[in-house]
Amino acid sequence: KVSIVWIRRDFRIQDNLALAAATENSDSVLLVFIVDPEQIETTASLNQSAFFASAKAFQANLANENIHLLVLKGTPESQFEKLTAALPEISDLYFNFDERGYGRQRDQQVAHHCQTTLGLKTHAYIDYNLHSANEIKKADGAGYQIFTPYFKRWITLPKPTPVKASVTSLQGKQMANIEPLHLHQEGLLTSLINEKHDKQLVGQVGEAKALQTLKDFIQSHLSEYDTQRDLPFLDATSHLSRYLRTGEIAIRTIYQAVINEPESEGQQTFIKELAWRDYYNMIYAMNPQQNTQSLRPEFQKIAWRNNHNDFLLWQTGQTGFPIVDAAMRQLNQTGWMHNRLRMIVASFLTKDLLIDWRWGEQYFHDQLLDYDPASNIGGWQWAASTGTDSVPYFRIFNPTRQSQKFDPDGKFIKQFVPELSQITNDKIHEPQLLTDLEQKEFQVTLDKDYPKPMVTHKQARLRAIEVYEQSKDTV
């Protein structure tokens, strides 16, 4: 049996369901990665550069083991046609299936084409989540809308364990016939990485790095995760999202490593976060329209203000709210943002500025190294109060209170807003209150070095509630 392993966003050798199954059940395997030009941005966003940098690292990692990754360009259907024409002995196709959004549709179409037109036997695996979107249902068979009951069920179910990869076996099953190599697009992956992102991506790619990140997190932060995860200045979360997104680490590997540790509140809280990931995957799979539509009907008619200049101030971290600005600058500089801050900036954009959550979602899409449509859309609809299980529309985050609570000494703010780094009192959270004397002392001139707040939160809050209630009244 000769099998193709279609690699997509599972850039790892270890604990890869499709790869392990193909290796075990085939006489020969051929690893293939396909770039569909229709999916490529003309100017690569950080998100895209990161994705192809990870693909490239995987290719290099395989090459070190003398395993070849064939890189092809075109639609998957056309490329599988070419491959099977060049190698008629190919009989099977293995891949890890996408459960939601565009990927799901594409996978169904490609599998159908390979089965009916090319006569391949297809084997699809749910590899990306601990529990698939269809696995956890209410007693009446309906999907859950709310996280808490979903989690109560989730936590009781046995979790899949990691699958071992046999590199030796994979090496032994490399195809001897290298004919399709003429289809290989040498240099394609490199050309899809925007040079200007190179610096940001250094040290953030590869399977080995992902495993090391897991190990470091367990050693340094896991047991305190419950108390430290909300404090951005401690930087005590795992940073694994970036590797999960590209499949440089498997979710089973993470779960197993964490559960093997001594029991702690930190461990339990961390595992709950993994359940949020499955939950949002399920919500997106059940509601494919959620990428463009607010899920709650009563909030589908919000009269967003959508002011372009306000949006620009938010994007560039110039709102005059230090915690919002520090967070946005962290995103722009590093391609990652702490979860507490994602909630704060998303609330600020949708409520204080009344800008459509889809604008923010798109901006995060372009900037985040860990961009995942289910979690991102889920997070944005949570903050905008438009999701199935979201913050009530009238409970609006006060950015200053959030700042005082989660960054009490302004350590995080000072890290990303150097203009405010000399401030030694509580006004780090509200620099607009600095007296002339303090401005001199702390070397910051308001409106020159750092802007005054672009809105008055108290008024913006009332405005948001009114606009949300108007939308409610239309239903």
Q: Can you give the binding site for ligand FAD, defined by CB under 6 A?
A: 229, 237-241, 244, 273-274, 276-277, 280, 339, 342-343, 346, 364, 368, 370-372, 375-376, 379-380, 383
| Minimum distance, C-beta of residue 267 to ligand FAD, in the bound complex (Å) | 12
Known binding site: residues? 225, 237-241, 270, 273-280, 370-372
Please tell me which residue in 339, 430, 438, 441 is annotated as part of the active site: 339
Check if 6 is active-site.
no
Residues 6+ apart with CB under 8 A from 88: none
Which residues fall in the annotated binding site for FAD?
A: 225, 237-241, 270, 273-280, 370-372
Q: Are 257 and 218 in contact (CB under 8 A)?
A: yes
User: Of 5 and 324, which has the nearer Cβ to ligand FAD?
Assistant: 324
Smallest gap from Cβ 188 to ligand FAD, in A, equals 26
Place of tokens 């989730």: 154
Query: Quick one: 369 or 423, whose CB is closer to ligand FAD?
Result: 369
Nearer to ligand FAD, 63 or 155 (CB): 155
| 304 part of the active site | yes
In residues, how long is the chain?
A: 475
In the complex, the smallest distance separating the C-beta of residue 216 from ligand FAD, rounded to whole angstroms, is 12
Q: Which is nearer to ligand FAD, 80 or 284 (CB)?
A: 284
Cβ within 8 Å of residue 457, ≥6 positions away: 352, 398, 399, 400
Q: And the tokens for 449? A: 């070095």
How many angstroms separate the CA atoms of 229 and 251, rounded? 19
CA 410 from centroid of its chain's CA atoms: 27
In sequence order, the 6+-apart residues with CB closer than 8 A to the CB of 395 are none
Catalytic one of 276, 314, 336, 359 = 276
Q: Which residues of 370-404 are buried (b: 16+ CB within 10 A; e: fewer)?
A: bbbbbbbbbbbbbbbbbbbbbbebeebbbbbebbb
Q: What is the largest CA-CA distance in the chain?
A: 81
**Dihedral of the alpha carbons of 319, 323, 326, 330, in degrees to the nearest 10:** -120
Q: Two tokens at 297?
A: 């009907």
Please confirm, yes or no, whether 276 is among the known catalytic residues: yes
Residue 177 among the catalytic residues: no
Q: Report the residue closest to ligand FAD, judged by CB.
A: 379
Please state the closest distance from residue 298 (CB atom) to ligand FAD, in A. Answer: 21
What does DSSP assign to residue 142? P
Query: Which residue among the candidates 314, 336, 357, 359 is catalytic per the annotation?
Result: 357
Name the residue nearer to ligand FAD (CB basis): 83 or 337: 337
- Residue 52's nearest CA partner among 281, 369, 283 is 369
CB of 297 to ligand FAD, least distance (A): 21
> Would you say 44 or 369 has its CB closer to ligand FAD?
369
Active site residue 357: yes
Which C-beta is closer to ligand FAD: that of 276 or that of 314?
276
Query: How many Å apart are CA 259 and CA 236, to the nearest integer?
Result: 18
Beta strand ranges found along 154-304 (DSSP E): none
> Residue 124 belongs to what H/E stretch?
strand 121-125
Q: Could you tell me what percentage of the chain is helix, strand and coil, using 3-state DSSP and rounding each to the nearest 5?
A: 55, 10, 40
The residues annotated as belonging to the active site are 273, 276, 304, 339, 357, 380
